[in-house]
Amino acid sequence: MSNDLLLEVRDLQTYFYLDEGIVKAVDGATLQVRRGKTLAVVGESGCGKSIMARSILQIVAKPGKIVGGEISFYRHSMADNGLETRSEQVKLTDYKPNSPEMRAFRGKEVAMIFQEPMASLSPVHTIGNQVMENFRQHFQVSKKEARNVTIEMLGKVGIPRPDQRFDAYPHQLSGGMRQRAMIAMALICQPCLLIADEPTTALDVTTQAQILELMQQLQVELGMAIIIITHDLGVVAEIADDVAVMYLGQVVEQAPVDELFHDPQHPYTRGLLRSIPRLESQTRERLDAIPGSVPHPYNRPTGCRFHPRCRERLANKLDICKTDEPELLPLNNIQNVRCWLYHKPGSTSSAPETGDRRQETISIS
């Protein structure tokens, strides 16, 4: 195990049991988060990004529940000699959602910024009390001490006059200020990992840039890792170290950000990158969209889940894509890919490429 590994998700399965059938929101997702680094999780709406993030903290709403897989958190500490690093593996999937162990872990070692701050903050409690509640949940301090720490954190995330904003209600703050309050709530216990679920949604571009800059600054100060869930590949190119691309509940590619943008391997990843408008595009030129649409949750395709929309399957005439599901396997030392274009059936390591694959470079301006 690498010393810089902080979180590992293996073959995670989170299902929703409904009257109409079973929705496999996350179905075999595998990814890794390195200590102090930023992992961006991207993909179309409905691919399971947010449910996977909620599964890490075990806050999936009923009737959803984790039915398989493993989530491991690696807690590092200094040995008694002060020279060596000691690592302890904590299997979060061994704990029940409401267990004392999970309650102590949630919000302290791993925290989350939710997608919509107005819907996530209580409208009948002040901002200060909501931020302070998380701190008092994990530390035995007086109310006065907690208030002082909360005001300091509100100021650190860029909220002006934090001593006055402490007593403000969410509806009295702008969207950007509410998002900063959410960040303060998540970071007040100085977690090792911050999960940010589309933290810049519904914000203007200036506020988006400020929020992203704030997250990067606090990441350096606190030495924490970040999982950021976003649709904006421009944001990914700006702040991410690694990228995990999800499709229909699975990670189909994970790679460092530079490799993913300059040499994407999975056909779905290449389709996403081709669909981005570019500065050098001709006027009124149509975007290159991915064919088809996301399948119905009760009618998942067999074999590779992307095969009905995959141009490269048709070009290379790979029938195995319709029948057998590929695994997420290493293609080289830095990229993992779930695709029959690169892996032979039954293999556990990278295999020579099949067919004629066109290498391309995608730039984000």
Q: What is the pLDDT of residues 250-298, one digit of tens each?
A: 999 999 999 999 999 999 999 999 888 776 666 677 778 888 888 888 8
CB 303 within 8 A of CB 323: yes
SS3 label, residue 39: strand
Nearest 5°: phi and psi at 42?
-125, 165
pLDDT digits (tens, 9 = 90+) for 70-122: 999 998 765 655 555 667 889 999 999 999 999 999 999 999 998 777 778 89
pTM higher than 0.75 = yes
Residue 251 neighbours by CB distance under 10 Å: 27
Query: Mean pLDDT score of the chain, rounded to an integer?
Result: 86
Which of 248, 106, 251 is closest to 191 using CA atoms?
Answer: 106
DSSP for residue 277: -
Whether the predicted pLDDT of 211 surpasses 90: no
Give the length of the chain. 365
Taking CA 142 as the corner, what is the angle to CA 136 and CA 147, rounded to the nearest 5 degrees? 70
CB 93 within 8 A of CB 71: yes
- pLDDT for the residue 278: 72
- pLDDT for the residue 81: 59
- Rounded Cα gap, residues 302 and 300, in angstroms: 7
pLDDT digits (tens, 9 = 90+) for 151-204: 999 999 989 999 999 999 999 998 888 988 999 999 999 999 999 998 887 778
- pLDDT for the residue 281: 63
Highest mean pLDDT among 6-15, 176-185, 280-289, 307-316: 6-15
- Sketch out the chain's domains with CATH numbers: 1-99+230-278+303-365 (3.40.50.300)
Whether the predicted pLDDT of 338 surpasses 50: yes
